[in-house]
Amino acid sequence: MVEMREEGDRLRVCGDLTFETVAAIARKERRWKEQSPTVDLGAVSACDSAGLALLIDWRRRARREGVELVYRNVPDRLLKLARISEVDSLLA
């Protein structure tokens, strides 16, 4: 299970960012101009390539809206997956 919470000036993602869970939050349209461009990933408990793809897509969509999305507290496992996939700069 995964959920997103607005917490003050940031969006907090909690739970698993996996193939089984990302579809539920990927369907929710995000308007980054209307929300904080900071996403806190500190409560992500598991992740896989589907979760990484979601985060890359969020960054792409935010840039299209003129917003530079910032990821905070990225779990080590997700960083390792991004390095292997040579997209770690997108999470920095």
Of 15-24, 29-38, 43-52, 59-68, where does mean pLDDT reach its minimum?
29-38
- Provide the domain limits for residue 19: 2-90
Q: Is the pTM of this model over 0.95?
A: no
Mean pLDDT along residues 15-21: 93
Whether 32 has a pLDDT exceeding 70, the answer reads: no
Determine the 3-state secondary structure of 35 from DSSP.
Answer: coil
Q: Point out which residues pair with 70 in neighbouring strands.
A: 38
**Per-residue exposure over 23-46, b if at least 16 CB sit within 10 Å of its own CB, e if not:** eebeeeebebeeebbebbbeebee
Domain of 25, CATH number, reads: 3.30.750.24
> Minimal CA–CA distance to 56: which of 14, 9, 22, 21?
22
CA distance 70 to 84: 21
